Amino acid sequence: MSTFAVINPATGETVAEYPDATTEEIEASLASAQETYQNWSRKTTVAERAALANRAAELFEERKDELGAIINREMGKPLDQSIGEAEFSGAISAAFAANAEKWLADEQLEVEDGLKSFFRFQGTGVILGIMPWNYPYYQVARFAVPNLILGNTVILKHAAQCPESALALEQLFLDAGFPKGAYVNVFATHDQIEDIIADDRIQGVSLTGSERAGAIVAEQAGRALKKCVLELGGSDVFLVLDTDDLDHAVEHAVGGRMENTGQACNGSKRIVVIDSLFDEFAEKYKAAIAGQSYEAGDFGPLSSAGATKTLTSQVQGAIEQGAEVLVGDNTPDGNLYTPSILTNITPTMDVYSQELFGPVAQLYKVSSDQEAIDLANSSPYGLGSVIICDDLERAEQVGNQLDVGMVFIGGAGLEGADVPFGGVKKSGYGRELGKVGMLEFANKKLFRFAAK
């Protein structure tokens, strides 16, 4: 079987296969992207490129049903969430288009000698994107759109199970008016990716994926002296410290864990509750997780047989090491995995420091804010967090002490089309979305004039 194939995770059926790129196709992709950077990107304005991104935003909206059906089939995301992802990708494209001229305006510098000095933000060349299966459109939009507007061109290697969404995206950008070579899809193998990173025409690499993949790509990029942005795994905490509305806390804890069938890097995976609220919260949370319905579309199948095997093995290991299962049975039906809750987890258990990529929550009880902070920071990951606390000053002080890239206070799901995203520690480095995301692969070119 080829590397790139659509295997419907709900049925196990191989729907379609696509051949790996040949060496000649890889070279043609690099040459096309480089030529377009030289002869189109560098000769157009930010406003002109932003107008094309705005058209891409319209196409995401116009094609949302078609796009949603593709990823529902490829990786099992519930259809309404799949359509919603296409809509959000359009919103991201529109936000970058609307803000580009402001975000990329020259930055005046105040210098001691008074000479006119400023930074001008421009593209650097061809940027390689290596994207994951769990958000096939969103992840690409937040990487590709700002780079195209900035003046870079993009070569995109999508996940092996997402060839049809990969092709749909390439066509969308072409139909939006971007020239051939501005956004190039490649069905590249791992060996070919290493060669692409080493190629002198590539100026940077952005990867969203696993910790293992990030380490490999970072090593390859480092050898080639290429900048990279890495958005990797996460084991985000959801801290419930003080609230008069426990139902609100439960609702957001369920949403934070169950989004995309629990297959989100920044999903709320560790639910940490202060002891005074723990018993009542636990009962409500158990009932809510147990009430999740596949038939109602609350969750879908896990993305693949491999993902199901991995999650089942992790949970079984936790059970054998003494964790208690409050909800669930760890016996999937094909790739349908019953939403579950584990508790009585101790630092000696493997699961304590693992990322569970699926609808399995870990539930912890703590007796103080400091204990909650210590537990949160004990993870090797540091992507995001949620703090539920009616005292906003207290919540902010706790957030100050968390080793994470993002702190959401008062609820889960506070992401936005123009809100920066990224983490620290083994969750990676760099940011996407917002102005800081747009500048990650910018040439911050200094202009300085001899006359004042």
So which residues are the catalytic ones?
231, 265
Contact between 33 and 142 (Cβ < 8 Å)? no
Looking from the CA of 330 toward its CB, the CA atoms found within 13 Å total: 20
Strand (E) positions, 45-152? 107-108, 117-122, 126-130
End-to-end CA distance of the chain: 65
Contacts (Cβ under 8 Å, ≥6 apart) of 263: 134, 302, 303, 307, 357, 358
Structure tokens at 116: 């006119």
Euclidean distance between CA atoms 79 and 81, whole angstroms: 5
Helix 79-103 to helix 46-62 angle (10° resolution) is 170
Tokens 């940011």 identify what position? 431
Q: How far is CA 359 from CA 16, 108, 332, 371, in A?
A: 28, 49, 12, 25
CB contact at 8 A, 261 and 75: no
- Between CA 382 and CA 450 the distance in angstroms is 46
Residues 6 or more apart in contact with residue 48 via CB below 8 angstroms: none
Half-sphere exposure of residue 285: CA atoms within 13 angstroms, side-chain side? 32
Measure the CA angle with vertex 246, ends 244 and 250; round to 5°.
155
